[in-house]
Every structure is written in structure tokens, then in C-alpha cells.
Structure 1
């Protein structure tokens, strides 16, 4: 799976054909938006995620339209929408998928932003770039309906549906939202101590990236993206093994290296951040599309010894995962609510795409995860582990200061990770 952004996506010429589900007005639902959805809807930004993969061309339009209708039938979140309020609406399975006149690929950026708004239904774009030899299936969804894991699910579902498979029913993310809304946290729950210890009194102020990015609180800039392959396939395997020998997962090892790199660039000796953690603990949600994540705080020490740093990071991540068993939305009332200074949150994500459904086919079908481009006021990091190695995508403000800072940090991080792989070869 290649993870990139809309401004880096340059498909071969072709005609984009859209499939539009026929949908009448939705019925109001008693299920409120999830915490993530509510924050997203309040932000008002145009944030979407796209799934892209190739099939032999020319495409069979009838089969692909049927596959898209089956995808909507299978996943309840695609039959829901939001009206201002926000109010959740529920929609029936579409009776018809309309095929719209094709448009040149050059029209895609505007079409993506138009179709994938947070409000209205459908808040997604379903289609294909048709060509005689290789057709490119492209579908994008407002972030309220999908997370990174969901993009791999979409690709696998559509690949199988297009080939004629019948998929079994799966859980409905709206049901998950209903369950989350009923959760309550007792004031004396011992897990709250960890949250209070991290944030202190006065509400939850998310950590901010500690190096200068050239934007003050309250300011934003156009986003820029740094894409870097940090370790090739063999190097990533050595890094994984080195972490295992220390009793750590590779994510913890990567966080330890990031804390070291940030400190080497003039940052603090302890790196405070949040990371997204999935909430697909019940088997019902394993194959369901939705935003099944919560955010968890962690503090990683920047120790000079790589082995000690990785062990400490592993301990910190395990403790943070325990905190994540309390959903953030249920925790906030006990901590005084959110106290935001910036629109973005300094976060570090890790996805091992090799473990997700359909991973064995990703290279053969050119699977890609593409994110929208917008404005930024903080740094956000996404590690991607694939058979090709360990890659990193960093979203940050497009300022001269941020560009220099992120480039230097990424160099330091790549050097730290490579150094750890050499430690394994000497043991």
C-alpha cells in the first residue's frame, strides 16, 4: 500500500466515470455523531481519504456499479449522513446507481472536494478512470465515514465484489457509535489517573510539536507533505527483529527513534504526543468501514542509549494502550473538556498494512491510500509498514521554517533507525 496525498497523485490520462447512488432524504437517527465525527464536523474542513487500485481495462461498468452498490449495502456508515446540528440521518440502500458522463482526469481534484463534503448525502465519490489497458478504481470518502484501516477494507471489498464474490454481512459503524454513546466512566475509575497525570488540571490541551514550524497559535498555512522511505524491506525486517529482542513492538521502537531525532534537533528530552488506537475489539467491527479510533496520550523519553530508549518507549506505549480502553469522549468530561490552541493535533500514527485484509494483493493491483490537501498549523506523522519497508508521511505547514525543520528531523530519524539495524548485525 502506497500512502500519499492528492497533490502527489498524478494518474495516467483517462476519463473519470462517476457512479452516483440514487438516494432520497434521510430519516433522523437517535444515534449522535461519535466523538471523532463531532470534532470533524465542527471543524468545517474538507478532509477526505481515498482508495485507489487498478483493474484490467477497459472496465466492466455494470460490474463495477454493482460492486459499489454492494459496498453501500454492506457498510451502514455509507448509508448515513449528517445535517447541520449536527444530526445523523439514515438512508435506504440505493435502488439504482447512476452512471454520470465522464470527465477528464484533470477535473478530479475539484470533483473530490465537491463530493466529499462533511454534510449532505452521499458524502463520497465513487468512480473509475477508464482506459483500454488498465483502469484505475478511485473512491473517496469524507473522513467521518472511514479511517486508515477502512481504506484497505474498501480496496479488498471492491476487488472481491468486482470479481464476482458475495461477501458476508458485517457490523455497522452506526451501531458502534450507539454503544460508545452509552458508555460512562466512573469518577473513581483508576485509569483516569493516567489521563490526569498527563494533562494536569485545566482541561485537555493536546501536545504540540515541540520544534518551530513558523506558525503561531491561531495561524495556519497551506499544508506541505514530506514523504520518505526510512528503511527498505530488509532494513525494516532487521529493525523489527531488533525491537522484538528488546520486548518492544516496532511502533515503540519508532517512537523512541523519533524522540531521539526531535531532541537532536533542539527539542525536549521527553516527547509528548498522542497516537490513534483502533477500537475494533469486537469481531463485529473487524471488517466494518468506519472511524474506529480513539486518541491516546504518551510521553517518550529521548534517552541516549537506543536499547534503553526502546524499552522505555515500549513500557510507555503499553501504559498508554491501557488508557485507551477508556474512550476519549467519555474521559473528557472528567478532565474539564478540550482546551485547543491549534486546529491540528501533534499525533503519530502507525499502520502495518501487511496485516490488513487483502494485503497480499496490494502490490499487484497498485493499491494506494490518498489523503486530501488542506491547511495545517502543526505536524502530524504517519508510519506505514509494508513489504517494501518502513515509510513516513509528515503533514506540516508549508513555511520555510517548517520545511527546514522537518527535513532535518527526517534525516535524523532515518539515521537513528538505520543505526538500530546495525546494532542487530553486531549481536
Structure 2
């Protein structure tokens, strides 16, 4: 999976196709199911810029428009959140649900674009217009049609999807499209794995068992915030934006380690009691310390909540957050040996609903609009991963505005990479660039150490002790 941003996504020119969703025969029903915590925060802060995630992959030959229309309709029927929407009712936001079988899809007239640059701009504008947080639908269903090789592409407002969802959508649409293309009359979408609905998950989330005020996990959360004056921590290096200010978003996408280097780094992390994610966090803390940001890196990290079978292949925003403090020691081995256990303890804090934490704090107002965070996704473990390279699968995010730094670490068969968003100021660009280069240097320095240790130490199994902080998506 290529994890990138729309300003770096440059598909070959062709005819841009889109499908409209006609809901005139599907009267929306007001739902009693409340918004999830993530949806509530996202929709309350929805502004002029659309926060969306998109998925794209390649297919051979021109687009079979009938088959792709059937595939998109089946995708909507399959995932509950895609036949729901949000509307404002006075000072509140409510969910509405549509009967998916009453929805009709129709291909709209295509737009032929002869320039790659122009196509990128047309596509960007189309995604911004279609993937709005309110109303129905909140997504763009499309494709780029070409004679020899085409691109299927769809984007969704963040309220309905997370990073994990992008891989599920690629897998679902790929299988649905080719199934309907082979046999439009006989193929049954029910051949895909059974799933639950994210709307049902939201109902279950609302009924989560109350956490006692004396629960040690809640107390750990409160202690974390006490150490940061009741606010979420911010990125500790100067980004050139004053408190309360904002800037256009800068974006950076770069590799950190190649395939063999990543395998060796994973061995290095296992031998020191941690996962690859723990190793990256340790390297980031060390880089911050070297650059004058202090000896400890504090942050929130997203972790997915697809822990039981109904949700494993379901599209939705299945993420929560947990807090961690990482020591920025000069020795990566020592740092990792501390971070591994600390990360495992932090994962347990993710079982405490964030709404419960905020209530216990008496509410809080973040210093910045963005929350400084570091996400980790091992795309090799997600649905359809075995085909990602073959079909040139992409996870694409929008570029909007920013006032803090956020980092998405991705592991694929091509190795380890990072996508970043930050304020696009002269100071912000220089700071993030220097920080990422320092992180990459630290990681690559650890690889020769792993080689030396491997000569005398037998390999352990698995990919480290941490599984939960995977496929998180926070804001953008």
C-alpha cells in the first residue's frame, strides 16, 4: 500500500468517471444511535476544508462501467456507515439511515482530462466537493478510464472511515468488480466475508460499561494529563506557528528503511523487548532530544478497536487513543527496552473510553486544533494485502491546514515509510525535515547492530509483542 497525500498523487491522464447515488426512493430514518466519540469531535470541528481519505488501485484495460456500478452499490449495501449520514438539527447533530436496497447508482458523464497535472486538480476538487461531512452521500465513487490500464478510486469523509478501512475498501471493491465483471448475473456479493455494521458498533460503544473513578487505568490517564497542565501534549520542536495560529498544511512522504533493513530492524526490536512501533517511537524520542526538544517525548497514539470478529472486515472509524511517554536516551537499545513495556502498558489504557477521561478531567481545551500523534499501520496484515503491490494500491489523504505535527508510520513489503503533516511555514518545513532525517539516521544505525547480534542470538518468532496500535487514523 502506498500511503500518500493528494498533492503527491499524480495518476496518468484519462477520463474521470463518477457515479451518483440517487436516494429519492430511500426515505431517511432518524437513528437513535448516537455518534461515536470520534464522529462527534470530527463533526463538531468540521469547517471549510473537507477531511477525507481515499483509496485507489489499478485494473487492466478500460473500466467495465456496469460492473463497477454494481460493485459500488454492493459496497454501500455491505457497510452500514455508507448508507448513513449526519444532519444538523439546531445545536445537535443526528444520524440518519437509508435503506440501501432503495438506493440507485448512475454513472455521470465522464470528464476527459489530457494532462496529469490537470487531472490531479480536477480529482482533488471532486473529492473536496463530494466528501463533505454532512448530508448524503459523503463520498466520491469514481474511476479513471484508460484503454490499457485504468484506476478505480473512491474517497470518503473521515467520519465514515479510518486507515484500516482503506485496505478493506480496496479488497472489497477489487473482489466485487472482478466478480461482477466475470458474471454480473450470477456473482453474489455475499461471497465476501460476513461483517458487522459500524453503526451497530457505535450503539455498542454508547453502552460501554462505566469505568470506576478509582480504576488504575483512568488514574494513569489523569496523571498523564496532569503532567501536561490538563492538555494533550504538542510536538516539542518549533513549527513556526504561534499558539492559536494556523498555517497551510505541509506534507512529507518518505521511506525510512528498505525491505531487508526493516526485517533486520524488526529483529533488533524483538531482541530488545519491543515491536517495530516501539523502536520507531524510541528513535523519534532520541531525535527530539538531540534537536533540543527535551529528554522525554509525550504523545497520544491511535489504536484500532477491531478486536472481535464482526468488525475485522467492517468499514468505519474503529480507533481509540492511548497516552505514552518515551525516553529520549542516546542508546536506542536502552530506549527500546524501556519503550516496549511502556507501550504495552499504554495499550491497556486504550480500553478506557476517551469520553470518560475527558469527563474525569472536567473537560479540556487543547492548546492546538491538531493533536500531536504518531500512528503505526502494518499493512501486510490487513485485508487484501497480498495484492497491494500487484494492483498498485494507494491510501490517499487530503491536504488542508495544520497547527501541529502528525506522523503516520506504515510498514509494507517495501519496508518502513512515514507520512507527515505539519504547518507549512519556513520553520515548520526545516524542523520536520531535520527531525525526519535524524529519525532515519537513528533507525539505519540500528540495522548493523541487528546484523552483529544475529550472528550469536537465535531468532524469536512473531513480530514483537504489540499488535493493537495498528491501522489507527487520527483526524487526517
TM class by shorter-chain length?
A: over 0.9
State how many pairs are aligned: 427
- Tell me whether 331-340 or 263-272 shows the greater mean CA deviation: 331-340
Q: Which residue of 2 aligns with 1:350?
A: 376
- Tell me whether 388-397 or 336-345 shows the greater mean CA deviation: 336-345
Structure 2 residue runs without a partner (length 5+): 114-118, 180-186, 454-476
Give CA-to-partner distance per residue, 1:259-288, whole Å, 9 cap, x none: 001111111100000100111112110000
Q: Which residue of 2 aligns with 1:9?
A: 9
Structure 1 distance, partners of 2:142, 2:344, is 41
Which residue among 102, 106, 121 is the counterpart of 1:98? 106
Structure 2 distance, partners of 1:62, 1:205, is 51
Structure 2 distance, partners of 1:253, 1:228, is 18
Give CA-to-partner distance per residue, 1:47-77, whole Å, 9 cap, x none: 0000000111211111111000110011000
Structure 2 distance, partners of 1:329, 1:287, is 26
Structure 1 distance, partners of 2:276, 2:12, is 36
Cα distance, 1:204 vs structure 2: 4.5
Cα distance, 1:203 vs structure 2: 7.9
Which residue among 182, 189, 202 is the counterpart of 1:177? 202
Q: Which residue of 2 aligns with 1:30?
A: 32
Give CA-to-partner distance per residue, 1:296-353, whole Å, 9 cap, x none: 1100001122111001111111111010011212322112223211110000000000
Structure 2 distance, partners of 1:345, 1:201, is 16
SS at match of 1:424: helix
Structure 1 distance, partners of 2:424, 2:367, is 19
SS at match of 2:128: helix
Which residue among 321, 340, 348 is the counterpart of 1:295? 321
The reply to whether residue 373 of structure 1 matches residue 390 of structure 2 is no
**How high is the TM-score relative to the length of structure 2?**
0.88
- Tell me whether 232-241 or 23-32 shows the greater mean CA deviation: 23-32
The reply to whether residue 189 of structure 1 matches residue 215 of structure 2 is yes
Cα distance, 1:168 vs structure 2: 3.7
State whether residues 297 and 325 of structure 2, in contact with CA within 8 Å, keep that contact through their aligned partners in structure 1: yes
Which residue among 51, 58, 61 is the counterpart of 1:54? 58
Structure 1 residue runs without a partner (length 5+): none
Structure 1 distance, partners of 2:452, 2:193, is 49
Q: Which residue of 2 aligns with 1:311?
A: 337
Structure 2 distance, partners of 1:407, 1:338, is 31
State whether residues 275 and 348 of structure 1, in contact with CA within 8 Å, keep that contact through their aligned partners in structure 2: yes
State whether residues 203 and 338 of structure 1, in contact with CA within 8 Å, keep that contact through their aligned partners in structure 2: no
State whether residues 203 and 335 of structure 1, in contact with CA within 8 Å, keep that contact through their aligned partners in structure 2: no
Give the aligned CA root-mean-square deviation in angstroms: 1.3
**How high is the TM-score relative to the length of structure 1?**
0.98
Structure 1 distance, partners of 2:359, 2:229, is 9
State whether residues 166 and 395 of structure 2, in contact with CA within 8 Å, keep that contact through their aligned partners in structure 1: yes
Structure 1 distance, partners of 2:364, 2:314, is 29
Structure 1 distance, partners of 2:110, 2:229, is 50
Structure 2 distance, partners of 1:251, 1:202, is 23
Structure 1 distance, partners of 2:107, 2:3, is 28
Structure 2 distance, partners of 1:377, 1:331, is 24
Structure 2 distance, partners of 1:264, 1:153, is 39
State whether residues 201 and 335 of structure 1, in contact with CA within 8 Å, keep that contact through their aligned partners in structure 2: no
Structure 1 distance, partners of 2:194, 2:23, is 21
Return closer, same or farther for 1:235/1:212 CA change in 2, 3 Å cut-off.
same
Q: Which residue of 1 aligns with 2:96?
A: 89
State whether residues 193 and 313 of structure 2, in contact with CA within 8 Å, keep that contact through their aligned partners in structure 1: no
Cα distance, 1:200 vs structure 2: 1.5
State whether residues 71 and 157 of structure 1, in contact with CA within 8 Å, keep that contact through their aligned partners in structure 2: yes
State whether residues 74 and 169 of structure 1, in contact with CA within 8 Å, keep that contact through their aligned partners in structure 2: no
The reply to whether residue 80 of structure 1 matches residue 106 of structure 2 is no
- Tell me whether 115-124 or 198-207 shows the greater mean CA deviation: 198-207
Structure 2 distance, partners of 1:203, 1:356, is 38
Cα distance, 1:201 vs structure 2: 8.4
Give CA-to-partner distance per residue, 1:105-131, whole Å, 9 cap, x none: 342111111100000100000011011
SS at match of 1:217: coil
Which residue among 45, 65, 69 is the counterpart of 1:65? 69
Structure 2 distance, partners of 1:321, 1:124, is 32
Q: Which residue of 2 aligns with 1:332?
A: 358
Which residue among 253, 258, 263 is the counterpart of 2:284? 258
The reply to whether residue 361 of structure 1 matches residue 387 of structure 2 is yes
Structure 1 distance, partners of 2:70, 2:194, is 16
Cα distance, 1:202 vs structure 2: 9.6
Give CA-to-partner distance per residue, 1:193-245, whole Å, 9 cap, x none: 11011011898411100000000111110001111101011110100011111
Which residue among 118, 125, 128 is the counterpart of 2:140? 125
Structure 1 distance, partners of 2:205, 2:229, is 21
Structure 1 distance, partners of 2:229, 2:98, is 37
Moved over 3 A (4+): 201-204
State whether residues 58 and 149 of structure 2, in contact with CA within 8 Å, keep that contact through their aligned partners in structure 1: yes
The reply to whether residue 277 of structure 1 matches residue 303 of structure 2 is yes
